[in-house]
Chain A
Amino acid sequence: MEDFLVWVVWVLAAAALLSSGIAVVLFSNPFFSALALIVNLASLAVLYLVLAAEFVAAAQVLVYAGAIVVMFLFVIAYLGGRADAPWAGGPTLQSVAAIVAAGAIAVEVVVVVALKAGDRLANAAEIPATFGSPSEIGRLFLGPHLLAFEVTSIVLLVAAVGGVILGTAVPREKRADGRP
């Protein structure tokens, strides 16, 4: 019974995931794309929960949906009408090639996975109850992966500084020939 419920949840979440992903990509109004992204992230969080990664799921909702998407929405609001992203135009060769490339990647990976690792993907390992809990994550971050932890803090600092600089750049006068 439990297993069945899990499967149902999984199928629903996966369906929501893929459809919202397509929606993000296909909407012409960026505001709708951002909203679809929120649905995407939420369904991902559900899948993470099924994968016993509770902390990551919480972080996903808090950081991604709660901060990054909000940032996107702020920018979309700031841009107003200029953010409209019509579909028209662009080289057709480009579009065809894009479809082919994306499709190729998808097919290849699936084929590789099926061919090469099929039998080894069957049996999952047993996991302790603390798997994915904040204490476990904390132990890993402060233990074997301390370097990654510190480096990410530097990355964030760099991004913050970059954002501030980009945001406060004073718009320069246009030169005589029109170039900025």
Chain B
Amino acid sequence: MAGPSVAAYLVVSVLLFATGAFGVLIRRSPLIILLALEIMLNAGNLALLAFSRHAGNGDGQIFALTVMVVAAAEAVVGLGLIVAVSRQRVELDVDKLTSLRG
């Protein structure tokens, strides 16, 4: 395998994932949270592809493509929700969107 071994890819993937996780946890705008979520998904994709290359098995690439599709679908629905929420003239602040509570 040209370049670094799987381990390096995994470390990069994990750091990216942690970044995305941090973003999801720390930001208050749902839009940014969605972006951070995309980063997490991509980190997962990176790990998948690294292992796929390492094992010589194409299944990982299939999985990564499927993840991409799912991420696209999720982005559609999430953005639709954001637009719908903003139409109600409600502030786009996750700490304020708390009416679903017990």
Contacts and interface: CB of A to CB of B under 8 A. Distances in A.
A52 B53 contact: yes
B-side binding surface: helix, strand, loop or mixed? Answer: helix
Interface in B47-64: 49-50, 52-56, 58-59, 61-62, 64
Given A25-B22, A76-B31, A90 B95 contact: yes
A180 to B, nearest CB: 5
Given A44-B46, A85-B32, A163-B77, 16 more contacts: A21-B19, A40-B39, A51-B49, A59-B65, A68-B75, A72-B35, A82-B92, A85-B92, A99-B22, A109-B14, A121-B54, A140-B61, A158-B73, A159-B73, A162-B76, A163-B80
A137 B72 contact: no
Interface residues of B, number: 73
What 6 pairs across the A-B complex have the smallest Cβ distances? Answer: A85-B29, A125-B56, A166-B80, A98-B25, A25-B23, A159-B73
Interface in A141-168: 141, 144-145, 148, 152, 155-156, 158-160, 162-163, 165-167
